[in-house]
Amino acid sequence: MSSASPRSNVFPNCWIDRPEWGAEMYPEESGFAGVGGRGVGLPQWTSGHVDSPYLYPISGGQIFAHQQQVLYHVDLLTGWVLESQAETTLRLNRHSAEAIINSASGVSKRLTPWLAMPELEQYPPDSQVFYQLPELLDHVAMLRGKNLEEILFFAGYSDPEAGYKQWKATADAVHAAYAARFVEYKRLNGDAPPNSPDVELAMLEFTLPREGQPFTLDIESPDVTPSNSLLSELMVIVEGLGDYQMVAPGRPHTFEYLVNVECSVNIAGLFGRAYAWDFTGEGEWVLLDAVHQDTQYQFYTPDHSMRTQYVIPYTTSRQFIDPVEGTFQLKLVHGTLTTPTSKFTTKYDLVQVIPRRVGIPTICCAGEDVAQSDMNYDESDDPDDLAAFADAWAEGRHKADVDLSGDVDAADFQRFLNAYATGD
């Protein structure tokens, strides 16, 4: 890098990808570097060990060159599902961030990306590079999983009042993305694989490898017995959502919860589900709806990986917060679709619970009420469930803690029998 130029840390050329120009290379001196309209390859300012890519939204004219099918979902009626524009933008920007992180070649690289602030409905934008608020929140949540130290934000409003509201909306999104904190995890069913590293909650919070090795929380399913279906179950407890609940009636804004999960398994033929604990009444697990996969997903990628998001609407989100402790409890389940022949391992790379501010969305349910006595997740109550619970209760396993009191005791046994008898 020459010391003669005061701007020698700027790449001298860049790619501009605009429909009216085509994809051509323009030298920086031509004046096209950094033009509005967001090229796929705008110049990247980098100084020392800092890389600052532009992770801006992709315009409508560019989407057709980059849009692809959602790799993690197959619609049984229509086949593959096409990405939305927001999903394409998030995928490409994730790839850009990970490419920088993974290309350090042993040198510590600091990723400090540029994001665009959100567009405000009541003001006409001064630029075309703004996110919508949900897109901004998804990007900040994605970058939180990369354990970034800093994010740079572009603000394009010249009006002072609009600028203040844009900054406020951006700050709210950042606070929301970082609100939830892991308190505890429990392997309800399954054990740590042999020679597993000591578990840290950061294994669920960040997707980055450590010392070149995967940094994941792993669960090996137990041995198959007549009363034990091949399942792995993980429960995580999250705090920090107490300030993000349904507000007073008549108020214009409240919050729904996004649950982001990234994981993989080591064999084909498995399904995955997510449940949240409903604290109303005696409490029960509620099956969550995923954005693309409904209530259950399968693994379609060659490496058996999954990236999915669940949404708990604002109309029901409050009931999933412990009124005393202010915690949120999530259960993640993987099991076999056919008769099991061997054990499997689940690797959880990322789990996030993100509150998202909404206006007055369409009222819907959080998911489906499920039978609390369905221990093997086959959607029926039968003697196999009774035997599975009895074994877990006798051994004092977390799986038998039906009321989530922290103890496996007579109250759990009685509650299970009541649910089994009524099919609830």
What is the biggest distance separating any 2 CA atoms in the chain, rounded to whole angstroms? 82
Lowest mean pLDDT across 187-196, 360-369, 411-420: 360-369
pLDDT > 90: percent of the chain = 19
Dist CA 255 CA 205 (whole Å): 22
Q: How far is CA 402 from CA 280, 286, 398, in A?
A: 15, 13, 8
C-alpha 64, offset from chain centre: 25
Q: What pLDDT, on a 0 to 100 scale, did the predictor assign at position 8?
A: 35
Residue 170 has pLDDT above 80, yes or no: yes
Q: Is 355 helix (H, G, I), strand (E, B) or coil?
A: strand
**198 DSSP 8-state letter:** P
Dist CA 365 CA 240 (whole Å): 23
Q: What pLDDT, on a 0 to 100 scale, did the predictor assign at position 36?
A: 37
**205 DSSP 8-state letter:** H
Q: What pLDDT, on a 0 to 100 scale, did the predictor assign at position 123?
A: 57
Q: What pLDDT, on a 0 to 100 scale, did the predictor assign at position 274?
A: 93
Dist CA 328 CA 350 (whole Å): 16
Lowest mean pLDDT across 82-91, 213-222, 236-245, 356-365: 356-365
β pairing state of 114-116 and 152-154: parallel
From 169, 177, 176, select the one nearest 146 (Cα to Cα).
177
β pairing state of 152-154 and 22-27: unpaired
Query: Residues near 131 by Cβ (< 8 Å), separated by ≥ 6?
Result: 57, 115, 116, 117, 118, 119, 139
At 179-194, the pLDDT tens digits run 999 999 999 888 888 8
Task: Please give the structure tokens belonging to residue 361.
Answer: 């969305």
pLDDT > 70: percent of the chain = 69
pTM value surpassing 0.85: no
Dist CA 81 CA 75 (whole Å): 7
Q: Report the chain's mean pLDDT, rounded to a whole number.
A: 75
Q: What pLDDT, on a 0 to 100 scale, did the predictor assign at position 166?
A: 85
At 239-284, the pLDDT tens digits run 998 778 755 454 445 788 999 999 999 988 888 999 999 998 888 8
CATH class, range 181-370: mainly beta
Of the chain, the end-to-end C-alpha distance in Å amounts to 69
Dist CA 381 CA 420 (whole Å): 7
Strands (DSSP E) contained in 240-360 are 254-265, 270-278, 284-288, 297-298, 305-312, 328-336, 345-358
Q: What pLDDT, on a 0 to 100 scale, did the predictor assign at position 335?
A: 87
User: Which range, 344-348, 389-393, 409-413, is most confident?
Assistant: 344-348
Q: Does residue 376 or residue 270 have the better pLDDT?
A: 270
At 131-149, the pLDDT tens digits run 788 889 999 999 999 988 8
Q: How far is CA 130 from CA 16, 31, 135, in A?
A: 18, 22, 10
Lowest mean pLDDT across 41-55, 80-94, 129-143, 258-272: 41-55
Q: Does residue 174 or residue 46 have the better pLDDT?
A: 174
Q: Which amino acid is at 420?
A: Y
Burial class of residue 290 (count of CB atoms within 10 Å of its CB; 0-12, 13-18, 19+): buried
Dist CA 137 CA 17 (whole Å): 26
The residues spanned by each domain of the chain are 13-177, 181-370
Residue 211 has pLDDT above 60, yes or no: yes
pLDDT band at residue 299 using 50, 70 and 90 as cut-offs: confident
The length of the chain is: 424
Lowest mean pLDDT across 16-20, 196-200, 372-376, 420-424: 16-20
From 348, 26, 67, select the one nearest 193 (Cα to Cα).
348
Q: If you write DSSP's letter for every residue of 13-40 in order, what string do you get?
A: EEEEEETTTEEEEEEGGGT-TT-TT--T
Task: Please give the structure tokens belonging to residue 71.
Answer: 């790799």
Q: What pLDDT, on a 0 to 100 scale, did the predictor assign at position 325?
A: 87
Residue position matching structure tokens 């300012």: 45
Mean pLDDT along residues 397-402: 72
Determine the number of helices (DSSP H) and then strands (DSSP E) in the chain: 8, 20
Dist CA 317 CA 319 (whole Å): 6
pLDDT band at residue 300 using 50, 70 and 90 as cut-offs: confident
Lowest mean pLDDT across 74-78, 110-114, 346-350: 74-78
